Chain A
Amino acid sequence: MSSHAAAAHGAHGAGHDDGHAHHHYTTTGLEHRKIAIWAFIGSECMLFASLISTYLIYKGRSIVGPFPHTEWVNEAGVVFKPILNIPVTSASTFVLLMSSLAMVLALQAVQLKDTPLPDGANWWTRAQRSSQGWLLMTALLGMTFLGFQAFEFASFVHEGLTIKTNLFGSTFYTLTGFHGAHVTAGVLWLFTLLFIDRKRGLGPKDELIVDIAALYWHFVDVVWIAIFTLVYLIQ
């Protein structure tokens, strides 16, 4: 390995110098899989940018309600309240943020798996080694978020907003539906990691596969941070 590649090998975040039996030589000195996930995340940024810009372009251009932030009275005189439920969405946003915290702690637990516990370690030090616990918590929080989204979609349909009702419905369901599909894929990925961890145990040698899943999960979180502000809070 050239000195440059060796230096880069030491600098990247995918693998530490020790405990990485499966680390391959690459021309950049970086793990290809980690480069791939960052390139994938970059492409996903542009996908969600197209969905968000479509939502913003059609924002306020619906001819019939229900509307997101204002009341609407139809021809029969029925009053429709603003349809967005900010308290419920705020709770689901909090849940997704906490799932990101759990995910980063799951990655740390995998990294620390082989490090012996110091004498008299407190509960927090012990908890930080529980990769299964943090992975399970992340997956459950992700499922809770999906539950909130299912509740929101069901209540919107009940109140008369479907994907065909107006421009708001079309763009809202497409944007948040795509995000929900990404969360669903992330939850399945997390359960796969949890299964591997229970089957043979995840350790420092598996840091990369957990790191890649964590990057995907955090990306899903940052997309929601943008959606929460642009769709729900800005009127």
Chain B
Amino acid sequence: MVLGNYKNCVSARAADPAVLSASQDGGIVTQLFAFALEEGIIDGAVVAGPGDEPYKPEPIVATTVAELMEARGTRYTICPNVAMIKEATRSYGLDKVGIVGTPCQIQAVRKAQLYPMGMRSVGDKIALAIGIFCMENFPYQGLETMVEDLCNVKMESAVKMDIGKGKFSVYTSRGAVSQIPLKLTHKFEQPGCHVCLDYVANLADVSTGSVGSPDGWSTVLTRTKKGETIWGKAIEAGYFETKPIEDVKPGLGLLTKLATEKITKNQKTLDERATFGVDKGLRNPYI
């Protein structure tokens, strides 16, 4: 259950080399939105676009493939995508909106659909919600400290950042790689992440992330009828290369292990919060 309900799981990567040239892993989000955009499944998508400062994303409503391409790659900091979800249906006038988000953001989207108090005419316009695997997130200042002070790399010269195999890695434009153990980054995590009980975006239409697949590939879980249909069409149209998840290393075992670790750790945090003070606790959002 730590992986949520899903219909299908594969390892995949985008078929378009242009997408892969600057994607984080398999380029799934960019390629799937590009497909949906071209097919008219969505009119546009809320994605993490480039911001004023390097690696500081701003949520944007991408209505062209070019804009989607600009938003490729992971930036390990907060990008409030849900903030644009109503705007996409208003100023941008979209009837079919795609949105990509971390598990918590996808939770917010589902709450906005089931309890749409302040979300008029938004819920039924969500055409495709893609969730990305997420262990935790960093405030921008935290990320800056990790990159500049701990890794000794200027933010402007970083071309890619990656978390994997117990390390936080920064790649520079001159080909250098600077790594620090993931353990050193824990203190920069935002506290709101420590009560999160979702690792693989259980409520998305399609969830994706690198964990479980080989380098350059992503693990893809299709969860809803909508997600299943769109993913099926994209495969049929030849937009992705896929491999059965059973055939790849490290496979679902690692995904399950990390999901269990996150949920166990954060459930413990939630339990501790209940008795944080003396006869007084901190609020639990889940009850």
Co-complex (A, B): no
- B interface residue numbers (CB < 8 A to A): none
